[in-house]
Amino acid sequence: MEDIKTPYNSVLSIAGSDSGGCAGIQADIKSISACGAYAATVITATTAQNTLGVTDIHAIPTSHIEKQLDAVLSDIQFGAVKIGMLHSCEVIKIVQEKLAEYKLKNIVLDPVMVTTSGHKLITDDAIECLKNFLPHVNLITPNIPEAELLIDEEINGDNMEEMAKKIAENYKTSVLLKGGHIDADSNDMTDVFYEYSTGKTITITNPRIVTNNTHGTGCSLSSSIAAFLSLGDSIETAIKKGCKYVNKAITDGKYKTLGNGNGPINHFGL
């Protein structure tokens, strides 16, 4: 009797590499794997980075990024795509073209523009190109500083729902607005999800974990959401599961140490 083979539930991560392993492609692979999906990657840039910050960025030539995209997309079927650092208009353009050419679905974009330490990861021109790209994805996951850059308005704990809706309507895509930068003294952390296709707003609340080990949290959340989408969950369910997974990973990493700065979350609960 012939063995029955089943395909992997695969996610493509398009992002930069973090040599310290806390964020970027490395965090994506860990999150996607921990959530039960298979991770493939297209690397847009490499960084010289550790727990203390980024000291250098090396952009991968656009022609090589295109070849990476063609290599994986022509061979592997993906249930979802996670997009992280796209550092130039040329990179954004080729990613947008290839995603359309291969008819990718469930595209989750984490609008990475600056690091937690304030190191810029994207050019000013690329910010405008990124804004033009947003209507072509299914979900964006900005934190408060990124969202304020997208909407050019101040966001606080009282207007998160209003601003999530405004961003979604401006860019014609669903939005998960992450509230980690708001009210650091609160015992809870609130994220707001606005679903563009239905106009539905959901507030997600998790316990706030006091720790410095949060390097790569945004990468891990967006990639975990993509993993759950590839497994067949609805966007609402995938977001709730992703938030729960990351909150647990932060909790599990609270008493771990790595390096001398901001450490990673504990992706596998080890």
Query: Which entry of 51, 173, 190, 217 is annotated as an active-site residue?
Result: 217
The one catalytic residue in 218, 242, 253, 263 is: 218
- Using only C-alpha atoms, the chain has a radius of gyration, in whole angstroms, of 17
Question: Of these residues, 84, 179, 180, 216, which one is catalytic?
Answer: 216
For the chain, the maximum distance between any two Cα atoms, rounded to a whole number of angstroms, is 64
Tokens of residue 270, six digits = 């080890």
Structure-block tokens of residue 142: 């900005």
Number of C-beta neighbours around residue 68 at 10 A: 18
Q: How far apart are CA 207 and CA 220, in angstroms?
A: 17
Q: Mark residue 216 as left, alpha or beta (left: phi above 0; alpha: psi -120 to 50; beta: remaining).
A: left
Residue 41 annotated as catalytic: no
Residue 131 bears catalytic tag: no
- 217 given a catalytic annotation: yes
Active site residue 219: yes
Tell me whether residue 178 is one of the annotated catalytic residues: yes
89-101 vs 62-73: helix axis angle to the nearest 10? Answer: 20
Give the span between the Cα atoms of 75 and 98, in whole angstroms: 14
- Of 214, 243, 253, 263, catalytic: 214
Dihedral sign from CA coordinates of 103, 107, 111, 112: negative
Q: Residues 10, 230: contact at Cβ < 8 Å?
A: yes
253 closest CA partner among 206, 205, 217, 204: 217
* Residue 129: C-alpha distances to residues 40, 90, 232, 243 (Å): 25, 9, 31, 28
**Closest C-alpha among 18, 22, 113 to residue 58:** 18
Annotated catalytic residue, options 82, 98, 178, 240? 178
Catalytic residue among 22, 89, 129, 219: 219
| Nearest Cα residue to 112 out of 32, 14, 200 | 14
Clarify whether 141 is annotated catalytic: no
Which active-site residues does the annotation give? Answer: 178, 214, 216-219
